[in-house]
Amino acid sequence: MATTLPNLQDWRFTVDFEGIAWAIIDRKGESMNSLGRRPTEELGDIVKAVEAAAASGEVKGLVIMSAKERSFIAGADIREFESFDTEPRIKEVVRQTLDLFDRIERLPVTVVAAIHGYCLGGGLELALACDWRIADREEGTRLGFPEVKLGIFPGLNGTVRSIALAGPTDAMTAMLTGRMLRPSAARAIGLVDQLVATHHNLRWAARKAVLQKRASKGAPWWKRLMLKQPIRGMLAKQMRTKTAAKVREEHYPAPFRLIELFEHYGDDPESMRVAETEMFAPLMASEGSRNLRRVFKLSEMLKDEAPKDGFKPLRVHVIGAGTMGGDIAAWCVTQGMQASLQDLDEAQIGKALARAKGLFKRQLRTKLAIDAAIARLIADPKGAYVKHADVVIEAIVEKLDVKQKLFTALEKQLKPGAVLATNTSSLKLEDIARPLADPGRLVGLHFFNPVAQLPLVEVVRGAETREGEVRKACTFVTAIAKLPLIVKDCSGFLVNRVLAPYMMEAVRRYQLGEPREKIDQAAMKFGMPMGPLELMDMVGLDIANHVGQELNLAPETDTVLASLVKQGKLGKKTGEGFYVWVEGKPKREEAVYDQAELARLGRELVKPMLDEAERALADQVVASADHVDAGVIFGTGFAPFRGGPIHYRNAEKSAAATTAAAA
């Protein structure tokens, strides 16, 4: 046989002198490998060549690996998903890939997957069809099934194969949570058979595995026992309860379908293979999955917009160690940066450091990493580190004259090229920058509360802000693993502007006598992560009221909100707001409401938000409708499966037009 295949674009293929075939994926023009049409077809050519050479005894084995720095294969090529619009088309495409994976599984020689970097979704399903999986222990190597986040589940027989290798509990947990596993965790549950220290060791280990004809034995007997009834039924029930505690079936059906698949076919792999495709196709074709894929693309869009040139921020200095400043500094540290934290009040710094420790413990697993993070977060009451910082963020009291004074002093100490930013939520940048010698330097970096949970940061371009500063600010935001959204300097920017009318509508309904629990349930029925009254209690009613007034939505007096603020009932932080809070949780009245009524109320509550999103788009607060949707989803948690406020409004309009045309 030929020892190479000359016409490949996304793969390289060679057979070495020992008779080992090497298939190396290196997608042309891409930084990450994904499984799209062309690489899958080319893999088909490779497998065909190996089938022939194996039959004639010319090859002893096949090793599948990647030439990319950060990925084995990061999943199916999501850009191609949109052409799979109908169930029959989806089944046809899936069938071709399933056949290919089956041929790999049936090859009479040893097939090894040698994994470095992201091995996710379809990439992991390919690896599972191999006889033996070796992964390196490098920090960037991760394995997992993120499909549920896109409203689907593994559809290339990953359900059957992962259960066979890892047993039902571990495999289903991996698929239901979509969590990315470190190599050691993947090894512990059986998704990986062997670990090596670094990617340099992969080739040698793979060669040995082929020569020794290694093959995974699959899950041990005690794990396989759990596939039998009645254990399987009990497991399915537990999984359903756990999943239902996190998401609603009406909004996110994929994990529930996956549990059904397991419950019905868990001990019958052949039937499960067939049923997997039957249950996968309708999910893939559904509106909800399409919208979740849209959300994924929106996040990629925001990341891609940040320039990748020159600026490499490593040191951050944050002034104001309150709710926001403390959490911003801590977050930057979790992302590998050094952060110094300044405040007039040293006790505030102490509190922020204590809070940061909690975050480090949650985010960083090892003691080594936690200790290193603690060392990188520096108490700096006098601002000695300002002159070393690449990025300086101000998060002090929302008072113009105090901020102006601070910035005037800061400007003289900054190192050249450092980003100078404010976290203000309501002051105009040009006002804050007025006394500066170089007002074009000031940019807004508007974080959301809680910082660790909301992925968005609004990058505010003031009337005078220089473009280069905006670009550097975006680079910084992506460097701390957040999504930058460039917004115009106007009241409420994008997110608060769109969110406030919805909050005020909730207050109005409450004032008109709707029970608070009903209002909150209605918003959640629509798909919001939390009800608006509970959210306001969390944010603080003083802040919510202030934002409402800034945007001329809340009268100074006569509202329930104003009166609660006057009584000092500010929400969670004071123990009472719309709800009474006990041990960090709101005390709710038990009540069951009619679902149709909740759905109607939910739509009505959200309507002012959709209207405002359309107005913000018309006012060009951000660059496009997609940017409005991205900002509102990532800054507020707006029902992701609905695709964003503008997308949802347009879908509503076209549904209404279709109904009208039919009538």
Query: Among 317, 446, 627, 647, which one carries the catalytic annotation?
Result: 446
Among the listed ranges 227-235, 313-321, 453-461, 520-528, the one in contact with ligand NAI (CB under 6 A) is: 313-321
Reduced to 3 states (helix: H, G, I; strand: E, B; else coil), residue 71 is: strand
- Residue 641: count of CB within 10 angstroms of its CB: 22
The tokens of 340 are what? 């110094």
CB of 120 to ligand NAI, least distance (A): 33
- Residue 376: count of CB within 10 angstroms of its CB: 18
| Closest by Cα among 83, 191, 89, 205 to 136 | 205
Question: Based on CB atoms, which residue is closest to ligand NAI, 266 or 320?
Answer: 320
Question: Based on CB atoms, which residue is closest to ligand NAI, 404 or 650?
Answer: 404
x/- map, 447-476, ligand NAI, by CB under 6 A? x-x---------------------------
What's the alpha-carbon Rg for the chain, to the nearest Å? Answer: 27
In the sheet with 110-115, reading across from the earlier edge strand, the strands are 11-15, 20-25, 61-66, 110-115, 132-136, 194-196
Among the listed ranges 13-21, 266-274, 319-327, 369-377, the one in contact with ligand NAI (CB under 6 A) is: 319-327
| Measured distance CA(144)–CA(171) in Å, rounded | 10
Q: Is 426 a catalytic residue?
A: no
Question: Based on CB atoms, which residue is closest to ligand NAI, 256 or 447?
Answer: 447
Q: For 59-171, where are the E strands, in sequence order?
A: 61-66, 71-73, 110-115, 118-120, 132-136, 142-144
The tokens of 249 are what? 């079936």
Residue with tokens 């603690």: 374
Interacting residues with ligand NAI between 394 and 453 (CB under 6 A): 395-398, 402, 406, 423-425, 446-447, 449
Query: Among 276, 458, 469, 505, which one carries the catalytic annotation?
Result: 458
In this structure, what are the phi and psi dihedrals at residue 544, rounded to the nearest 5 degrees? -60, -45
Among the listed ranges 81-89, 286-294, 322-330, 471-479, the one in contact with ligand NAI (CB under 6 A) is: 322-330
| Measured distance CA(259)–CA(163) in Å, rounded | 12
Q: Is 200 a catalytic residue?
A: no
Q: Is 561:637 a contact under the CB 8 Å cutoff?
A: no
323 is an interface residue for ligand NAI by CB under 6 A? yes
Question: Based on CB atoms, which residue is closest to ligand NAI, 26 or 398?
Answer: 398
Question: Based on CB atoms, which residue is closest to ligand NAI, 141 or 423?
Answer: 423
16 is an interface residue for ligand NAI by CB under 6 A? no
506 is an interface residue for ligand NAI by CB under 6 A? no
CB of 322 to ligand NAI, least distance (A): 2
CB of 448 to ligand NAI, least distance (A): 6
Give the bridge partners for 484, in sequence order.
457
Reduced to 3 states (helix: H, G, I; strand: E, B; else coil), residue 591 is: coil
Question: Based on CB atoms, which residue is closest to ligand NAI, 23 or 539?
Answer: 539
From 320, 501, 532, 577, residue interacting with ligand NAI (rule: CB under 6 A)? 320
Reduced to 3 states (helix: H, G, I; strand: E, B; else coil), residue 25 is: strand
From 325, 484, 501, 635, residue interacting with ligand NAI (rule: CB under 6 A)? 325
x/- map, 342-371, ligand NAI, by CB under 6 A? xxxx--x-----------------------
Q: What is the DSSP-derived secondary structure letter of residue 35?
A: B
CB of 522 to ligand NAI, least distance (A): 24
Question: Based on CB atoms, which residue is closest to ligand NAI, 21 or 616?
Answer: 616
Query: Among 33, 496, 534, 545, which one carries the catalytic annotation?
Result: 496
From 109, 148, 319, 442, residue interacting with ligand NAI (rule: CB under 6 A)? 319
Q: Is 50:107 a contact under the CB 8 Å cutoff?
A: yes
CB of 351 to ligand NAI, least distance (A): 9
| Closest by Cα among 457, 72, 448, 451 to 299 | 457
Non-local CB neighbours of 188 within 8 Å, separated by 6+ positions: none
The tokens of 544 are what? 């919510």
Greatest CA separation found in the chain? 88
Q: Is 446 a catalytic residue?
A: yes
| Closest by Cα among 621, 611, 622, 618 to 649 | 611
Question: Based on CB atoms, which residue is closest to ligand NAI, 237 or 399?
Answer: 399
Q: Is 56 a catalytic residue?
A: no
CB of 503 to ligand NAI, least distance (A): 13
The tokens of 614 are what? 């359309």
CB of 393 to ligand NAI, least distance (A): 9
Query: Among 340, 425, 534, 576, which one carries the catalytic annotation?
Result: 425
In the sheet with 180-181, reading across from the earlier edge strand, the strands are 71-73, 118-120, 142-144, 180-181
| Measured distance CA(438)–CA(427) in Å, rounded | 18
- Residue 430: count of CB within 10 angstroms of its CB: 14
Residue nearest to ligand NAI (CB): 322
The tokens of 184 are what? 């050691």
Question: Based on CB atoms, which residue is closest to ligand NAI, 361 or 405?
Answer: 405
* Count of residues touching ligand NAI (by CB under 6 A): 26
CB of 414 to ligand NAI, least distance (A): 16
Question: Based on CB atoms, which residue is closest to ligand NAI, 133 or 317?
Answer: 317
Q: Is 90:84 a contact under the CB 8 Å cutoff?
A: yes
Active-site residues, by number, are: 425, 446, 458, 496
Residues that bind ligand NAI in the complex, under the rule CB under 6 A: 319-325, 342-345, 348, 395-398, 402, 406, 423-425, 446-447, 449, 539, 543
